[in-house]
Amino acid sequence: MDDNLFAPPEADPATDDVVVAEEVEPAITLPRVWTILVVVPASIMLAAIAGGAAALAAMLAADPTLPTTGEAFASRLESVYVSPLGPFLLGIGSLVFLMGALLPAYLSPVEWRQRLGLKPIETPLGETLLLVGASPLVGLVGSVLVGLLTSGESENMRLFYNIIQGSASPPRLAMLFFVIAIMPGVAEELLFRGYLQRRLLEVWPARSAIALSTFLFAAAHLEPIHVLSVAPLGAWLGFIAWRANSTWPSIVAHAFNNALAIIIMMNTEF
Instruction: Kindly report the backbone phi and psi dihedral angles of residue 10, in degrees, each rounded to the nearest multiple of 5, phi listed first.
Output: -75, 140
Q: Is the pLDDT of residue 170 over 80?
A: yes
CB distance 146 to 230 below 8 Å: no
pLDDT for 10: 57
User: What distance in Å separates the CA atoms of residue 166 and residue 184, rounded to the nearest whole number?
Assistant: 21
Q: Is the pLDDT of residue 270 over 70?
A: no
172: amino acid identity, one letter: R
pLDDT for 115: 95
CA-based nearest residue to 231, from 270, 198, 196, 192: 192
146: amino acid identity, one letter: V
104: amino acid identity, one letter: P
Domain ranges of the chain: 35-57+68-267
pLDDT for 6: 47
User: What distance in Å separates the CA atoms of residue 260 and residue 171, rounded to the nearest whole number?
Assistant: 18
pLDDT for 161: 86
CB distance 210 to 242 below 8 Å: yes
pLDDT tens digits along 50-76: 999 999 999 888 888 877 787 888 888
Q: Is the pLDDT of residue 3 over 70?
A: no
Q: Is the pLDDT of residue 80 over 70?
A: yes
Q: Is the pLDDT of residue 90 over 70?
A: yes
pTM: 0.86
Cα 5 to Cα 8, 15, 248: the distances in Å are 8, 21, 77
pLDDT tens digits along 199-218: 999 999 999 999 999 999 99
Q: What burial class does residue 139 get, using C-beta atoms within 10 Å of its C-beta: 0-12 exposed, 13-18 middle, 19+ buried?
A: buried
pLDDT for 168: 73
pLDDT for 171: 87
User: What distance in Å separates the CA atoms of residue 36 and residue 56, rounded to the nearest whole number?
Assistant: 30
In this structure, of 14-23, 124-133, 158-167, the range with the lowest mean pLDDT score is 14-23
Q: What percent of the chain has pLDDT over 70?
A: 88
pLDDT tens digits along 101-113: 999 999 989 999 9
